Amino acid sequence: MFTGLIEGVGALRARETRGGDARLTIAVGSLPFADVALGESIALNGVCLTVVAFDATSFEADASNETLALTTLGDLPLGAALNLERAMLPSDRLGGHLVSGHVDGIGRVEQITPDARAQRWRFSAPVALLKYVALKGSICVDGVSLTVNTVDETGFDVALIPHTVEHTAFAQTPIGAAVNLEVDLVARYVERLLQSTPS
């Protein structure tokens, strides 16, 4: 599990085809990394992957065809900035919201406009996901926990404070870029419970 609070910005160093899928090499950049361990989970732009090898400045993770097809990781160019977060500890503060690292769909940056010292970002999203997006609720965009300011039939808006822009890959994300979306876990479980309740 993750919190959606980005710990560092890294970069995609290599994508190597192996046996039909891919191994990614990630430069850790500003991610605190001294106590990394084989087998631990790290979220890359909101996608939970397992560390299979590492050195002082990078780690490797295998990405299945499912992951490559259903997230932005299959199309990112080498050198692309990545939001990185290591899995949370039971003792961590939950400053964002509970994030599984399982991407629900791909959205797109539609608009970025100044809003005082902040920026208002507009994202499109698949219609099937928008029913899980609630005004003032939480959503995870490229691994970042954000609060929904508005939502309609085609997408949603969020406000990014200067700290968020400066300390995430959003500083390098242009209009038109594809982004990974994960809706709030609570919405998924509520829907499932309602489907399972006898009428």
pLDDT in tens, 110-123: 999 999 999 999 99
- Residue 175: name the closest of 127, 119, 134 by CA: 119
Tell me what pLDDT residue 197 has. 63
pLDDT along the chain (199 residues), means of 10: 95 94 97 95 98 97 95 96 94 82 96 97 96 95 97 97 97 98 85 73
Q: Report pTM.
A: 0.93
Tell me what pLDDT residue 142 has. 98
Token look-up 């219609």 returns: 127
Hey, which residues does 81 pair with through a beta bridge? 11
- The domains found in the chain, sorted by start residue, are 8-86 (2.40.30.20), 105-194 (2.40.30.20)
Tell me what pLDDT residue 182 has. 97
Cα–Cα–Cα angle for 169, 172, 178, nearest 5°?
Answer: 80
Tell me what pLDDT residue 48 has. 98
Tell me what pLDDT residue 44 has. 98
Residue 183 burial (10 A CB sphere; 0-12, 13-18, 19+)? buried
Pairing of strands 81-86, 41-44: antiparallel
Tell me what pLDDT residue 198 has. 67
